[in-house]
Amino acid sequence: MTQNILFGKLKDYRLEGRKVTFEFEGGQENLRPSVEVISDTIFNVFVDYDGLGHRTRAIEGELGKRLNADTCQECQALGEGRENGPEGAEKAESTESVESRENAESPANREAAGKADWVSWEGSAVVIRSKKVTVKVNDGFAVDFYDCEGNPLSLAWRGERKEKSGLGWKELMLLAEEGHAASDGKAKGNQVQELRSLDKTDCIYGLGDKTGFLNKRHYEYVMWNSDIPDPHEDNFKSLYKSIPFMLVLKEKGAYGIFFDNHCKSFFDLGKESEDYYVFGAEEGNLDYYFMAGESLKEVVSDYTWLTGRAPMQQLWTLGYHQSRWGYESEEKIREVAKGLRENDLPCDCIHFDIDYMDHYKVFTWNQETYQDERKVISDLKEMGIKAVTIIDPGVKVEKDYYVYEEGMEKGYFAKKPDSREAYVNAVWPGDAVFPDFGDPRVRTWWAGKQKYLIDLGVGGVWNDMNEPASFRGPLPDDVVFTDEDRQAPHSQIHNIYGHNMAKATYEGWKEYSGKRPFVITRACYSGSQKYTTAWTGDNHSIWSHIRMMIPQICNLGMSGMNFVGADVGGFGSDATPELFARWIQAGCFMPFFRDHCALGGRPQEPWQFGKEVLSISRKYINLRYELLPYLYDLMHETEVTGIPMVRPLVMEYEEDENVRNRNDEFMLGDRMLIAPVVEQGARERMVYLPQGIWYDYWTGERKEGRSFFVKEAPLDVCPVYVKAGAVIPKYPARLCVGEDKDDLLILEAYPGEGVYTHYQDNGEDFQYRQGAFNEYEISNQDGEAEVKILHEGYRPYGKIEIVRKF
Report in angstroms how near the CB of residue 596 gets to ligand GLC at its nearest.
6
**Residue 11 backbone dihedrals phi, psi, to 5 degrees:** -105, -45
Question: CA–CA separation, 348 vs 72, rounded Å?
Answer: 35
Q: Which of 40, 227, 467, 483 is catalytic?
A: 467
**Contact status, residue 508 vs residue 449, Cβ threshold 8 Å:** yes
- CB nearer ligand GLC, residue 40 or residue 353: 353
Question: CA–CA separation, 102 vs 116, rounded Å?
Answer: 6
**Contact status, residue 472 vs residue 426, Cβ threshold 8 Å:** yes
Give the alpha-carbon dihedral of 649, 653, 659, 660, to 10 degrees.
100
Length of the chain counted residue by residue: 806
Report in angstroms how near the CB of residue 587 gets to ligand GLC at its nearest.
15
- Beta-bridge partners for 154: 145
Question: CA–CA separation, 629 vs 315, rounded Å?
Answer: 9
- CB nearer ligand GLC, residue 134 or residue 389: 389
Residues that bind ligand GLC (CB under 6 A): 325, 353-354, 390, 464, 522, 537-538, 571, 596
Q: Is 270 left (phi over 0), alpha (psi -120 to 50) or beta?
A: left
Report in angstroms how near the CB of residue 555 gets to ligand GLC at its nearest.
20
Report in angstroms how near the CB of residue 431 gets to ligand GLC at its nearest.
18
Three-state SS for 337-402 is: HHHHHHCCCCCCEEEECHHHCCCCCCCCCCCCCCCCHHHHHHHHHHCCCEEEEEECCCEECCCCCH
Q: Which of 112, 111, 142 is nearest to 126 (CA)?
A: 142
Give the alpha-carbon dihedral of 628, 312, 512, 793, to 10 degrees.
80
Residue 478 annotated to the active site: no
Question: CA–CA separation, 195 vs 259, rounded Å?
Answer: 12
Question: CA–CA separation, 542 vs 578, rounded Å?
Answer: 11
Distances, alpha carbon 184 to alpha carbons 169, 181, 229, in Å: 8, 10, 26
Number of helices and strands in the chain (H, E) = 18, 44
Q: What's the Rg (C-alpha) of the chain?
A: 26
- CB nearer ligand GLC, residue 107 or residue 473: 473
Question: CA–CA separation, 444 vs 40, rounded Å?
Answer: 37
- CB nearer ligand GLC, residue 464 or residue 574: 464
Report in angstroms how near the CB of residue 525 gets to ligand GLC at its nearest.
18
Report in angstroms how near the CB of residue 325 gets to ligand GLC at its nearest.
3
Residue 464 annotated to the active site: yes
- CB nearer ligand GLC, residue 319 or residue 537: 537
**Contact status, residue 520 vs residue 462, Cβ threshold 8 Å:** yes
Q: Which of 12, 7, 46, 13 is nearest to 27 (CA)?
A: 7
Question: CA–CA separation, 276 vs 198, rounded Å?
Answer: 5
Output the residue with the shortest Cβ distance to ligand GLC. 325
The order of strands in the sheet holding 720-723 is 646-647, 666-668, 672-674, 720-723, 693-696, 702-704
Report in angstroms how near the CB of residue 571 gets to ligand GLC at its nearest.
6
Helix (H) or strand (E) holding 299: helix 296-307
Report in angstroms how near the CB of residue 600 gets to ligand GLC at its nearest.
11
- Beta-bridge partners for 745: 800
- CB nearer ligand GLC, residue 248 or residue 598: 598
- CB nearer ligand GLC, residue 176 or residue 599: 599
Q: What DSSP line would sit under 653-707, residue for residue?
A: -TT-GGGTT--S-EEETTTEEE----STT-SEEEEEE-SSEEEETTT--EEESSE
- CB nearer ligand GLC, residue 258 or residue 360: 360
Report in angstroms how near the CB of residue 560 gets to ligand GLC at its nearest.
22
Report in angstroms how near the CB of residue 542 gets to ligand GLC at its nearest.
16
- CB nearer ligand GLC, residue 353 or residue 639: 353
Report in angstroms how near the CB of residue 357 gets to ligand GLC at its nearest.
10
Question: CA–CA separation, 603 vs 596, rounded Å?
Answer: 10
DSSP 8-state secondary structure symbol assigned to residue 188? P
Residue 382 annotated to the active site: no
**Contact status, residue 556 vs residue 564, Cβ threshold 8 Å:** yes
Helix (H) or strand (E) holding 37: strand 34-37
Report in angstroms how near the CB of residue 540 gets to ligand GLC at its nearest.
12
Tell me how crowded residue 293 is: count the other CB atoms within 10 A of its CB.
Answer: 23
Distances, alpha carbon 539 to alpha carbons 646, 695, 709, 796, in Å: 19, 33, 31, 42
Report in angstroms how near the CB of residue 572 gets to ligand GLC at its nearest.
9
Q: Which of 209, 260, 272, 464 is catalytic?
A: 464
- CB nearer ligand GLC, residue 139 or residue 464: 464
Distances, alpha carbon 724 to alpha carbons 631, 656, 703, 753, in Å: 19, 19, 10, 7
- CB nearer ligand GLC, residue 353 or residue 775: 353
Helix (H) or strand (E) holding 510: helix 490-513
C-alpha of 91 from chain center: 22
**Residue 8 backbone dihedrals phi, psi, to 5 degrees:** 70, -150
Q: Which of 194, 538, 605, 775 is catalytic?
A: 538
**Contact status, residue 393 vs residue 497, Cβ threshold 8 Å:** yes
Catalytically annotated residues: 464, 467, 538
